[in-house]
């Protein structure tokens, strides 16, 4: 996946942004279901663990459009998030890699991913996640936001610019961890496969991405749950979100929505990296000087 140091930065940015948009739109119903489950429910009211059941219930009660509430915000955010994430990861990893083999140790892969996750959270992830979550939360209760634009204006009016960064701590911890494990796992698998002459194709890219998605979900779910509580329509501080999860469900509540998120990340990881590889393969010949060649 990740390109050599001489690959134009525009390849990482454009291919990453395109991959993020495709992945976000294709898997959004799972993200919607996961967010619904993580938000506060009525006391004593059970919440289904099957993501398909949540999607079906929302579809039956609220229609197809409800399943894509906040989707445009996520897609826009994914374009920026994954464009920045792939660009920053490629840039950072080139500083960390072994100059002779061109590979990274697993720990350096994780470190490069962690730093790129922080960059992505600061530049675009936190604001777009805040609006997406507020739209999903609002749709099940007050329904006061008429659109993404109206939601942004309302948040700015009520809380100021800082309102867009509500949940910043949880989001940054999630992004740092998620990017570290997703990028790190994917690249570790790729390096292993290269050493053992395993063919790189759509199937291996998708499988590697799916494994990376599973590892990412299981290790970072508590941060995702706290982030969701912080970014609800009414909002909450990180401490308040932490306390509310404990009060509602106990320690196990931090893994609320894991099944929903796995339903998405298994597919999203495969889609994201496969699309990135495909887009980079098309862009590289157009943007890379011919005498520099391409990485296999």
pLDDT, averaged across the chain: 83
Amino acid 275: pLDDT? 93
Range of the domain at 17: 9-292
Q: Work out the number of other CB atoms within 10 angstroms of the CB of residue 276.
A: 27
For the segment 247-266, the average pLDDT, to the nearest whole number, is: 83
Q: What is the pLDDT of residue 295?
A: 41
Q: What pLDDT digit, counting tens, does each position of 204-247 carry?
A: 999 999 999 899 888 888 888 888 888 777 777 888 889 988 98
In a domain, 4, yes or no: no
pLDDT 10s digits, 277-295: 999 889 888 766 554 443 4
Whether 93 maps to a domain, the answer reads: yes
Predicted confidence at residue 154, as pLDDT, reads 93
Model confidence at 197: pLDDT above 80: yes
Q: Is residue 210 part of a domain?
A: yes
Is residue 38 a contact partner of residue 249, using CB atoms and an 8 Å limit?
no
Residue 127 has pLDDT above 50, yes or no: yes
Q: Residue 69 falls within a domain, yes or no?
A: yes
In a domain, 190, yes or no: yes
- Tally of domains within the chain: 1
Q: What is the pTM of this model?
A: 0.68
* pLDDT-based confidence at residue 3 (cuts at 50, 70, 90): very low
Q: Give tens-digit pLDDT for 134-182.
A: 888 887 777 888 888 999 999 999 989 999 998 888 889 888 988 889 8
Q: Is the pLDDT higher at 208 or at 296?
A: 208
More confident residue, 99 or 76: 76
Taking CA atoms, 72 is separated from 28, 47, 131, in Å, by 10, 26, 10
In a domain, 3, yes or no: no
Q: Indicate whether 221 belongs to any domain.
A: yes
256 within a domain of the structure (yes/no):
yes
% of the chain residues with pLDDT over 90: 18
* pLDDT tens digits along 79-107: 988 898 888 888 888 888 777 776 778 88
> What CATH code is carried by the domain that includes residue 218?
1.50.40.10
Say whether pLDDT at 131 is over 60.
yes
Percent of the chain with pLDDT over 70: 90
Q: What is the model's pLDDT at position 22?
A: 93
State yes or no: pLDDT of 264 exceeds 70.
yes
């Amino acid at each position: 996946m990740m390109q050599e140091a001489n690959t134009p930065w525009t390849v990482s940015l454009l291919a990453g942004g395109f991959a993020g948009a495709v992945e976000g739109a294709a898997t959004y119903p799972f993200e919607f279901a996961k967010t619904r489950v993580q938000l506060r429910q009525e006391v004593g009211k059970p919440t289904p663990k099957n993501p398909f059941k949540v999607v079906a219930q929302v579809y039956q009660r609220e229609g197809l459009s409800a399943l894509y509430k906040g989707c445009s915000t996520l897609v826009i955010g994914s374009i920026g998030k994954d464009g920045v994430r792939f660009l920053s990861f490629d840039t950072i990893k080139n500083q960390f890699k072994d100059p002779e083999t061109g590979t990274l140790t697993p720990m350096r892969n994780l470190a490069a991913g962690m730093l790129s996750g922080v960059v992505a959270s600061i530049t675009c992830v936190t604001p777009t996640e805040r609006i997406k979550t507020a739209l999903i939360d609002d749709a099940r209760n007050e329904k006061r936001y008429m659109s993404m634009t109206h939601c942004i204006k309302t948040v700015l009016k009520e809380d100021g610019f800082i309102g867009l960064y509500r949940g910043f701590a949880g989001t940054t911890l999630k992004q740092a961890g998620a990017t570290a494990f997703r990028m790190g796992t994917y690249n570790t698998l790729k390096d292993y496969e290269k050493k053992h002459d395993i063919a790189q194709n759509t199937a291996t890219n998708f499988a590697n991405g799916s494994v990376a998605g599973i590892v990412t979900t299981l290790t970072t779910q508590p941060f995702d749950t706290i982030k969701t509580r912080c970014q609800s329509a009414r909002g909450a501080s990180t401490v308040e979100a932490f306390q509310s999860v404990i009060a509602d469900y106990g320690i196990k509540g931090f893994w609320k929505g894991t099944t929903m998120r796995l339903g998405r990340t298994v597919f999203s990881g495969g889609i994201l990296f496969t699309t990135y590889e495909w887009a980079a393969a098309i862009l590289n010949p157009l943007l890379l000087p011919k005498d520099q060649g391409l990485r296999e």
